[in-house]
Chain A
Amino acid sequence: MKRYWILSLLAIVLVTLPLMTACGEDEVETTTTAAAVTTTAGGATETTGDATETTAPAETTTTVGEPVTLYVGGTFALTGAYAEDCAAVLAGFQDYVQYVNDNKVIAPWHTDWTIPANITFELLWADDALDPAKTLTIYEDQKSKGMMVSRVSGSPEGMALKDLLVEDNIGATSQSTSPAYLQPVGNIFTNAPIYTDEMASVAEWFLESWTETRAPRVAYLTADSPLGRNIDIPQMQEYLVSLGYEFVGAQFVPMVPTAPPTTQLAWLKDNKVDLTLGVMVNPGSQPTVKEAVRLGMGVGQEYEITFALGNPAHLQIFLPDMGATGNGVVVAGDFCAQDADVPGIKFADMLQDTYRPNKKNTNIMYLDGVIEGMTQILALRLAAMEVDPAKLTAEDVLKKGYWQIKDLDTGGISVSKYTYGEGNVQGVDSCRIQQVENAQIVEKGAYPLRNILPSEQ
């Protein structure tokens, strides 16, 4: 009997140890009782909210300018289809946070938006592996550490978090731009147009150069995944028809094709399609366009057809591999070209030169990391101007931070400045169109967002 007891205890210990290892820290209050103070450090002239009227209680021993650490970051899908992209986002985040801590400003062009010297930002991150269950545990873990912002790496993870974020009053930035974030509106703040609006912009752009008397024929050529099928909604089709298109149908290509999508492309040819719309990642778009060119399809090819894709089919990744083979391919809703002569690109280059001189990350999503980091830190900064940083709550950061972001300039990386607010989680107000011409990315203009959303369930 004694042996059973010892064995039982041993089993409990064995089970408990790894569980405790996997267990996050105990819940900590995100609102601390440190004193509110007036902070004029680092050249900043803002006064933290309530500070002037607060006479700190005796038990709150915090002095003026007591160091405060605020957390930024969230979950990153470092395993799965978006691993490369997310690794770049993480790199951008890391460098940007380091830059802000070193320089105490949001960006070189926003030198008036300073960070009080006593505030330090720390990046918390973990790999969610595109798994909602993991996302949830990581989110709770980070929340328990006192993180008041978060981020979303993919639509299913975003949807798993959406209600929780609302419940916890936590605002999250996102690299995915699912229309579902907008209906009903939650706390997930996007930095690119939703996929349907990207397609709408392409359709409008294409019509401008359409000279034939017949209606242009459009079809979807999109990834066979929720990402690609996001655009396959009746509202999108109705909008295309309202513009004067003849909608032909849809063809789906695997996210990462294991064979050239010849059948789908032949179908487009047979149906005399002039323009295709789709959302793909580069491992899908590159073999598709290569096969199309082999079949004599494309802009300036034997069979004239324009292949248009939405962000995240980045031309900045597509072009180096494809060169002139990619001529005519259009991408909507993306960041500027990586060699664009804009302050944002110079800033990103400077970050890489400074913080990772020998391991430069060439993925375009590095810029996303910089922008998401900028958004989160700006939200925290704005909230910290209203409330003592040590007393900040997630609700403060959401309402006095995210919702107050107006005209956040990304130095030309994004098509427009970001403005958020209550009920407005879509930062940009237009959609950029880029096209490959002579193996170069050429800006084709910006088009207004049409808010094409699926019907509410």
Chain B
Amino acid sequence: MIRLPSGTYAQDYGQDAALVRTKANWAFLAIVIVFVFTIPQWASNSFLALSTVIGITIISAHGLNILTGNCGLVSLGHSGFMMVGGYALAILCAKGGLPFWLALPISGLMAGVVGIIFGLPSLRIKGFYLIMATVAAYFIIHWLVLQFRSLTGGTEGLRVPSPDLFGLSLKDRAHYFYFVMVLVVIATIVAKNILRTRAGRAFVAIRDNDLAAEVMGVNLFSYKLQAFFIGNVFAGIAGGLSVQYYLYANVEQFPFFDSVWLLGMLIVGGMGSVSGAIYGAIAIKLLQQLATKIGPPLADLVNPQAAVGLGLILPSLAIILFLIFAPRGISHIWERLRNYYQAWPF
């Protein structure tokens, strides 16, 4: 439900269903879009690279948010499904000769299908046991990638040809950034709308109380698998984008720890909230970048070892602090701030 300022009413179904309702919403959106899409014009290459990586992470976080935040199926195998998408794209482009624009959606679908396979136990197990099953999924995928050397290149990985999109070279970092950002917008709209579908409502019902949902007629098996499929399609596309960005696929690009960070992003941003996935991805990535930035001066100031592990400590600390002081994440803080401001001075 979208909260509206007093005096603003929906007068028809179209208005009621609109994602952006008020002029202020439109203005805010326009500013964000202008800010984001002008980044290549004013930002350094370093910032452009960071923004591209953040964009890819947002897409992946949206997928995990649908699976974990909305459907309550906590997954620690998300990085593995990104690996499936990444390798699918690499194989399709490098070995199959498929164009990038075709390989990318296929890689997403493949990750989704693999997600369904590993999602099958979710009917019988949940909570901690499901988490362990998804951890196992990651390591099985990792192992399979290393075993099928002729297909995946094994430990050496696979080199991916430079992408073209209808004649436009995506090797150009700015072009690739724009492409990723367009996909981020599409992914955000899709993620937002999924929650307003029958399936989205079923996801939330399952998350809140699966027994009650089943009694109410929600087909748990079907909807849990749908959640796995949809969430992992996002992961697969993010993995494909990541591989295409580096023009190289390797298992070490998708470490297990990335799954943990993605969960951390949802905690910091706000589990179950579409905007939370965005805030969380930005916050954690910026904190990691901040650690990189302050590492050298800190080492000079204190001692050389002071910078060791800083990239893990800062985001971890943020996750702990959010869990204690703001368990509903940045999106909830923002919502409270907005509500307070709307009601001000009352």
Q: Which residues of A contact B (CB under 8 A)?
A: 1, 3-5, 7-8, 11-12, 15-16, 18-19, 21-27, 78-79, 83, 87, 90-91, 94, 124-134, 136-138, 140-141, 143-144, 154-156, 159-160, 162-163, 178-180, 226-227, 229-230, 232-233, 359, 454, 457
A5 to B341, CA, bound (A): 12
CB closest chain-A residue, reference B27: A8
| Chain A nearest CB, measured from B313 CB (Å) | 9
Contact A226 B155 (CB under 8 A): yes
Within 8 A of A (CB), among B28-56: 28, 31-32, 35, 43-50, 53
Contact for B307 among A26, A78, A138, A179, CB less than 8 A: A78
For chain B, the count of residues having a C-beta within 8 Å of the partner chain is 63
Q: Is the CB of B308 within 8 A of A83?
A: yes
Specify which of A21, A143, A163, A227 is in contact with B247 (CB 8 Å cutoff): A163
Task: Assess whether A22 is in contact with B154, with CB atoms less than 8 Å apart.
Answer: no
- Cα A1 to Cα B5 with chains together (Å): 9
Residue of B nearest to A231 (CB): B155
Are B289 and A4 interface neighbours, CB within 8 A? no
Residues of A within 8 A of B246 (CB): 132, 136, 159-160
Complex CA–CA separation, A138 to B288 (angstroms): 12
Residues of chain B contacted by A138 (CB below 8 angstroms) = 46, 292
Does B124 sit at the interface, judged by CB under 8 A? Answer: no
Say whether B44 contacts A8, CB under 8 Å. Answer: no
Which candidate, B103-111, B113-121, B216-224, B249-257, is the interface stretch facing chain A?
Answer: B249-257
Interface contacts (Cβ under 8 Å), in number, total 174
12 contacts between A and B (CB under 8 A): A8-B27, A8-B31, A23-B47, A24-B45, A78-B311, A127-B307, A129-B312, A133-B242, A137-B289, A138-B292, A229-B154, A457-B153
Provide the residues of chain A in CB contact with B35, threshold 8 Å: 12, 15-16
Question: B46 is contacted by which of A23, A162, A227 (Cβ under 8 Å)?
Answer: A23
Decide if the interface of chain B is mainly helix, strand, loop or mixed.
helix
User: SS class of chain A's interface: helix, strand, loop or mixed?
Assistant: helix
CB distance from A28 to the nearest CB of B (A): 9
- Among the interface residues B27, B159, B248, B292, which one has the most CB atoms of the partner chain A within 10 A? B292
Q: Which residues of the other chain, A, contact B154 by a CB distance below 8 angstroms?
A: 229, 232-233, 454
Chain B residues lying within 8 Å of A178, measured Cβ to Cβ, are 156
Tell me the bound Cα distance from A90 to B306 in angstroms.
Answer: 13
B136 to chain A, nearest CB (A): 16
Complex contacts, B22 vs chain A, CB 8 Å: 4
Closest B residue to A86 by CB, please name it.
B308
Is B342 an interface residue when CB atoms closer than 8 A count as contact?
Answer: yes
Q: Which residues of B contact A131 (CB under 8 A)?
A: 255, 311
B303 within 8 A of A: yes
Residues of chain A lying within 8 A (CB to CB) of residue B27 = 4-5, 8
Instruction: List the B residue with the shortest CB-CB distance to A123.
Output: B296
Name the contact of A27 in the complex, choosing from B44, B242, B250 (C-beta under 8 A): B44
Q: Which residues of A contact B24 (CB under 8 A)?
A: 1, 4-5, 7-8
Contact B308–A23 (Cβ < 8 Å)? no
Contact of A137 among B25, B49, B250 (CB under 8 A): B49
